């Protein structure tokens, strides 16, 4: 059974965040809130947890996983950015966007697109997610918590606990969560390509 942690949306309790961090460091899989909707998350390099995400969401090998970091400055370790891409991503972060970019060698091949060698990156604007990332001191490998038999992503922590009790090791709930998935923008080519319109305004990339 997964553990359930209910924390304050403005000042999430450090004790609960420490316990969730321990779950992740021990190889676990969690569900956590963001400014777009809930996401599934695990540590970078955790191949077993990645397969669990694929199984929960019925994902194929070409699904883009996302590296979620606490600040823009961390992205350069994991993705390649030309000057124009750098400026575009910096202007839109933090916020409800996922950017598809060429991965660096710091990103395990298991989470890159098998042909394009790309990966998603994002910086959320959500206090609980940022507090967890800051305590973890590392990015989270994430995927939107959209179940195969649901039209919309999950946005309620207790509902996730009931639905996925035997699928995840922990659910972090702060009572506040976005209602739409991120807007996904592919910046790996010569021009931006909006792949999904979601919570973020796509206008700057159209």
Average of per-residue pLDDT values in the chain? 94
The span from the CA of 51 to the CA of 61, in Å, is 10
**HEC string of 26-66?**
CCCCEEECCCCCCEEEEECCCHHHHHHHHHHHCCCCCCCCE
Task: Please tell me the predicted confidence (pLDDT) of residue 63.
Answer: 84
The span from the CA of 206 to the CA of 134, in Å, is 33
Please give the share of the chain, as a percent, with pLDDT higher than 90: 87
User: How sure is the predictor about 110, in pLDDT bands with cuts at 50, 70 and 90?
Assistant: confident
Are the CB atoms for 73 and 168 separated by under 8 Å? no
Contacts with 98 (C-beta within 8 Å, 6 or more apart), sequence order: 64, 66, 120, 121, 122, 182, 183, 184, 185
Are the CB atoms for 173 and 9 separated by under 8 Å? no
Residues belonging to the chain: 206
Interval 35-90: pLDDT, tens: 999 999 999 999 999 999 999 999 987 888 999 999 999 999 999 999 999 999 99
Residue 131's H or E segment, with its range, is helix 127-136
The CA–CA distances, whole Å, from 78 to 66, 104, 122, 171, 200 equal: 11, 5, 11, 27, 22
Assigned CATH topology for domain 3-205: DHBP synthase (3.90.870)
The span from the CA of 180 to the CA of 63, in Å, is 19
Backbone angles phi, psi at 184, to 5 degrees: -105, 125
Q: For the chain, give every domain's residue range.
A: 3-205
Residue 198's H or E segment, with its range, is none
Q: What is the pTM of this model?
A: 0.94
Mean pLDDT lowest among 52-56, 147-151, 180-184: 147-151
């Amino acid at each position: 059974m997964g553990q359930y942690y209910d924390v304050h949306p403005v000042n999430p309790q450090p004790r609960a965040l420490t316990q969730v961090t321990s779950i992740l460091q021990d190889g676990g899989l969690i569900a956590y809130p963001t400014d777009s909707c809930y996401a599934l998350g695990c540590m970078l390099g955790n191949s077993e947890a990645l397969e669990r995400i694929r199984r929960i969401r019925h994902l194929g090998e070409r699904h883009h996983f996302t590296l979620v970091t606490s600040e823009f400055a961390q992205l350069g370790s994991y993705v390649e950015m030309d000057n124009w891409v750098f400026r575009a991503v910096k202007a839109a972060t933090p916020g409800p966007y996922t950017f598809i970019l060429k991965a660096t060698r710091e990103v395990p091949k298991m989470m890159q697109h098998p042909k394009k060698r790309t990966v998603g990156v994002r910086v959320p604007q959500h206090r609980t997610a940022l507090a967890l990332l800051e305590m973890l001191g590392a990015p989270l490998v994430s995927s939107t918590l959209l179940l195969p038999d649901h039209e919309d992503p999950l946005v309620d922590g207790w509902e996730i606990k009931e639905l996925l009790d035997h699928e995840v090791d922990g659910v972090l709930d702060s009572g506040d969560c976005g209602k739409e998935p991120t807007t996904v923008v592919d910046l790996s080519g010569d021009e931006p390509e909006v792949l999904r319109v979601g919570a973020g305004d796509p206008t700057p990339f159209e």
